[in-house]
Amino acid sequence: MKTYSLLLFTLLLLSSCEFSTDTNKQQAPKTNKTQEITKQLRHVVLFKFKDTSLPADIKKVEAAFAALPSQIEEIKDFEWGLNNSPEDLNKGFTHCFFVTFDSEEARDVYLPHPAHKAFVDRLLPHIDDSLVLDYWVK
């Protein structure tokens, strides 16, 4: 009876273990929970263009904004896109831009930077409204 119980216990123990004979199977890398996550400050900019602005004028504004990362080293990442929400809640805002910084100090270099000021000068004749929001990524 002891042998039978020991055999049953061993079988139960073995059935609860995971065995893999697939040597090509890649395992997910283990992460160090104490590893510091880089903080990112996002600068979100939304634009509503004037009805009088021509598509060519808007394209020039888009290109000028997209050129800023190559002109301002404090910008760590940049992306943008056009609204395509079916909800019709955009209140006329059509363009969304995300500018990412490592710190508030980097953002504070960006705001008065000559390249940024030149971009704003190009933008102002075409902008009906704008919305800017900064947040720390969580």
Dist. CA 113–CA 101, nearest whole Å: 14
pLDDT of residue 12: 39
Dist. CA 99–CA 26, nearest whole Å: 35
Ordered per-residue pLDDT tens for the chain, 138 residues: 554 444 434 433 344 444 444 444 444 444 444 445 579 999 999 999 999 999 999 999 999 999 999 999 999 999 999 999 999 999 999 999 999 999 999 999 999 999 999 999 999 999 999 999 999 999
41-136: CATH topology: Alpha-Beta Plaits (3.30.70)
pLDDT of residue 38: 76
- The domain spans of the chain are 41-136
The residues pairing with 78 across neighbouring beta strands, listed in sequence order, are 99
Dist. CA 32–CA 137, nearest whole Å: 20
pLDDT of residue 21: 44
